[in-house]
Amino acid sequence: MRSLILISGLLAMAAPASAQAIQCEGSVENSVGEVFATYDLDRSTGKVQKQVVSYVPERAEGAGVESDFFPRPRLMFDYRLAEAGQLDGPVVANVLVGTYSAVGAGKRPSLSEVKVRVLAPPAEPLSWRASEPSGGEGRFAALMREIKPPKVTVELLGKDGKVLASAEFDLSKTAQFQKAVTQARSEADKRTAAYQKLAAAGKAQGRCPAG
């Protein structure tokens, strides 16, 4: 028996940015993955202070490997919304690394011994230690902005260079992605408008209305 523990690239979208902020979110899941539109609102007025679109692409079916301790990795990209409404980014590119808590499978490698390698042709491969993601993921986000690769492969390598886990991601289905973004934003817009209406009437209860 084994359980999954997320150890890198933790999702923290549910926590408000500050004590004065309310978060309204819309989400959509389709064939290309999950898209979240998250708006930070002023608690008293409902004015939108920040808008982020997060994308967790679906892992390609039948591609990649996992081991006793490591499942196939995932990705999460964060985009800003420009004034005209178009996506800007990704400004953040996280590799989500998890571990299995396996019984009787030996000693799990330390994250300091594990490397993340990103293959995104035609760019040169990127790599960094799983225990030190910030610098590598910053370079990954820059690569995604500049190259916009249609396919990305993520590998976790042991200290001997062998692949512990891997996953492939098809990022070429831009029409389906944009459709999901539009739908997620529409849901977030509706929930934001509902909160603003309550705030104007002095009836806001400190949370975004349910969709």
**Per-residue pLDDT at 4:** 58
Residue 201 lies in a domain: no
Residues in contact with 182: Cβ distance below 8 Å, sequence separation at least 6, in sequence order: none
**Per-residue pLDDT at 16:** 42
Residue 79 lies in a domain: yes
Is the separation of the CB atoms in 99 and 5 below 8 Å?
yes
Per-residue pLDDT, averaged over 133-152, amounts to 95
**Per-residue pLDDT at 23:** 95
The residue that leads in pLDDT, 2 or 185, is 185
Is the separation of the CB atoms in 60 and 167 below 8 Å?
yes
- The rounded distance, in Å, linking the Cα atoms of 201 and 196 is 9
Residue 78 lies in a domain: yes
User: Is the pLDDT assigned to residue 164 strictly greater than 90?
Assistant: yes
Residue 25 lies in a domain: yes
Place 74 in a pLDDT band, splitting at 50, 70 and 90.
Answer: very high
Residue 211 lies in a domain: no
Provide the domain count of the chain. 1
Given the structure tokens 């976790």, which residue do they identify? 156
- The rounded distance, in Å, linking the Cα atoms of 64 and 89 is 26
Residue 90 lies in a domain: yes
Residue 141 lies in a domain: yes
HSE, side-chain direction, 13 A CA sphere, residue 119 = 11
Q: Is 55 helix (H, G, I), strand (E, B) or coil?
A: strand
Per-residue pLDDT, averaged over 171-199, amounts to 96
Range of the domain at 34: 2-10+21-196
- pLDDT tens, position by position, 78-135: 999 887 778 999 999 999 999 887 655 667 788 899 999 999 999 999 999 999 998 8
Is the separation of the CB atoms in 96 and 194 below 8 Å?
no
- pLDDT tens, position by position, 16-68: 445 568 999 999 999 999 999 999 999 999 999 999 999 999 999 999 999 98
Residue 165 lies in a domain: yes
Per-residue pLDDT, averaged over 149-175, amounts to 96
User: Is the pLDDT assigned to residue 13 strictly greater than 80?
Assistant: no
